Amino acid sequence: MGNSLLKTSLSSSSSFLLFLPLSKDNSVNFFALSDILYIFVIESTYLYNSMNKTSLTIISFLMGCVMAFPIHAQTSRAELLAHMELATGNYCNYPNPSGNVTQPPAGYEPFYVSHYGRHGARYMTTDKHYKYVVGKLDTAQTRGWLTDKGEEVLLRVRKAAADAWHRDGDLTRLGALQHQGIAHRLASNYPTLFMQPVDVKANSSTVRRCMLSMANFCQELKVMNPQLNITMDASEHDMYYLIPNDSIDIPNKGIDDHLYEKLDKFRHEKLNGRHQIGLLFKDPKKVEDFIDGYKFADGLWNIASDMHCLPELGLSFNDLFTEDELIDGFRVYNASWCLWEGLMPGSRPNYYAIYPLLRNFLDEADKVIASGEKQVRLRFGHDSVLLPFSYILGVKEAVNGTDDMENLHNTFALFRLIPMAGNVQLVFFRKQGSDDILVKFLMNENETSVPIDTDCYPFYHWKDVSAYYRNMLNNANIKYKEQ
């Protein structure tokens, strides 16, 4: 993204300014713009009573702009080049949902929502990348090894590192707004459920960013309907299903050693650091024994990607990479996550550690159905759960992994599955006088399919869904380490 900005006043009665980020060809960079507009639109909803008709019209227009960027089913290099923000992998900010909400068959009404969501946009979970990059650049500066570009980049990285100091993994301002937006759309899409005084039960991982994500989500629901009875909790008591359960014995240890060797070679090939070292150091040959090219490039790629979670800093490090290098970083982490979670053919099934979450979804749904009550069930956790859980459910976006790491992104892409604030929602419907419960699956708020026969897509019969997943749990033959 270039440094040029167009500044336009939104209305004579408003002090808001809209900054339009421009691409290299001076066209508007719409995905970067969507982050800015998203913050503006959500925050503006709280100023409703003080805004005039003109301001509200502008907000409505901006919301339309934000929602207008679809994410297609497959990922091509051309798509990534057009929207480089997607190439940040699991740092990717929440893509805008399609907005399509299929109405249920006649007579069916929503009565239960079961949800698992990743925390919103965050700082990096460790300062190791800042420590390595700043440490090497600092030492090189004292020795007179840096180019003018290197000197400037060191100042930039120091600024980012100072902002991130003691904020490892913390939720960012954008992350809070992402969950407010998801909550707002959920309640707006199903008003017959959310505009009643129903119980909302929310649980979160005990990690701070997850608890704050839960709080922002629930706060927005309460703003929309003060009559909701919301309870929130974050306790070790529930961690056995909110995070990967390390008590479960994962079978086939060592089966994928060859895949990890392949991945290590792939990572070092794609993130070799030659270009970055050539830009920042006067004599690249001189620093060959001083700096690890892979660690340096990997650190810079992670720092560059995390800047998308912190638009208020106004910092970018994309100028240190070619477009293909940024995409290569995406390919590296796309393949890494696919293998780490056991979704790659021939890999160890690490997703076994997520089966307790599936059982929790099934058991709690059956309990609500049997009670005849209405309820909203929210869970907040991490990408390391959401990704394998999506795979276990069999949603179409998660099941096309391959060990062809170079081309994996064509059928499996992290930004479709675990963007910041990514989520799975199951929405349940019932009809008075019928015991046939219907359920709809949403991946990041978009209607999706699972490998279960249905005669009313995108709705599925709960009796078929429950039988399918309970059979899956039985066949998994889950064993615990203490056994």
Q: Is the pLDDT of residue 280 over 80?
A: yes
Alpha carbon 358 to its chain's center: 20
Q: What average pLDDT does the segment 322-329 reach?
A: 96
> In this model, does residue 49 exceed pLDDT 80?
no
CA–CA gap between residue 132 and residue 217 (Å, rounded): 35
Q: Which residues of 321-345 are buried (b: 16+ CB within 10 A; e: fewer)?
A: beeebbbbbbbbbbbbbbbbbbbbe
Looking at residue 73, what is its pLDDT? 54
Q: Which of 154, 151, 147 is nearest to 283 (CA)?
A: 147
User: Over 70: is that where the pLDDT of 137 sits?
Assistant: yes
pLDDT at 43 over 50: no
| Share of residues in the chain with pLDDT > 70 (%) | 84
Mean pLDDT of the chain: 88
pLDDT at position 6, please? 31
Per-residue pLDDT for 2 more than 70? Answer: no
Strands 446-447 and 423-431: unpaired
* pLDDT band of 475, cuts 50, 70, 90: very high
Distance CA 148, CA 153 (A): 9
- Give yes or no for a contact between 134 and 161, defined as CB atoms under 8 angstroms apart: yes
CA 84/CA 55 separation, integer angstroms: 31
For residue 27, pLDDT over 60 is answered with no
Tell me what pLDDT residue 72 has.
45
Q: State pLDDT tens for residues 91-109.
A: 999 998 988 999 999 999 9
Q: Is the pLDDT of residue 259 over 50?
A: yes
Asked if residue 210 has pLDDT above 90, the reply is yes
Task: Using DSSP, state whether 444 is helix, strand or coil.
Answer: coil
**pLDDT tens per residue across span 143-185:** 999 999 999 999 999 999 999 999 999 999 999 999 999 999 9
Indicate the pLDDT class of residue 483, thresholds 50, 70 and 90: low
Task: Give the confidence band of 76 by pLDDT, cuts at 50, 70, 90.
Answer: confident
Q: pLDDT value at position 60? A: 35
Residues 116 and 185: their CA atoms lie apart, in Å, by: 16
Residue 339, helix vs strand vs coil: helix
Give the range among 79-83, 252-256, 355-359 with minimum mean pLDDT. 79-83
Q: What is the pLDDT of residues 403-457, one digit of tens each?
A: 999 999 999 999 999 999 999 999 999 999 999 999 999 999 999 999 999 999 9
Judge residue 18's burial from the number of C-beta atoms within 10 Å of its C-beta, 0-12 exposed, 13-18 middle, 19 or more buried.
Answer: middle
Q: Nearest to residue 73, comparing CAs of 410, 452, 449?
A: 410
The pTM (predicted TM-score) of the whole model is 0.86
pLDDT for residue 296: 98
Q: Are 158 and 151 in contact (CB under 8 A)?
A: no
State yes or no: pLDDT of 21 exceeds 70.
no
Mean pLDDT on 264-268: 98
- Quick one: pLDDT band at residue 339, thresholds 50, 70, 90? very high
DSSP letters along 388-429, please? HHHHHHT-TTTS---S-TTTGGGT--HHHHSSTT-EEEEEEE
Note the pLDDT of residue 74.
65
3 state DSSP class of 440: strand
CB proximity list for 102: less than 8 A, separation 6 or greater = 440, 447, 458, 459
Closest CA to 92 of 418, 463, 470: 418
Q: Which pLDDT does position 365 carry in this prediction? A: 98
Sign of CA dihedral 232, 233, 239, 243: positive
Cβ–Cβ < 8 Å for 385, 243: yes
Residue 81: what residue type?
Answer: L
Lookup: tokens for 249:
């014995």
Could you read off the pLDDT of 381-406 as tens digits, one per residue?
999 999 999 999 999 999 999 999 99
pLDDT at 482: 76
Q: Return the H-helix or E-strand segment holding 177.
A: helix 173-189
Quick one: average pLDDT of 189-195? 97
DSSP letter (8 states) at residue 122: B
pLDDT computed for residue 162 by the predictor: 98
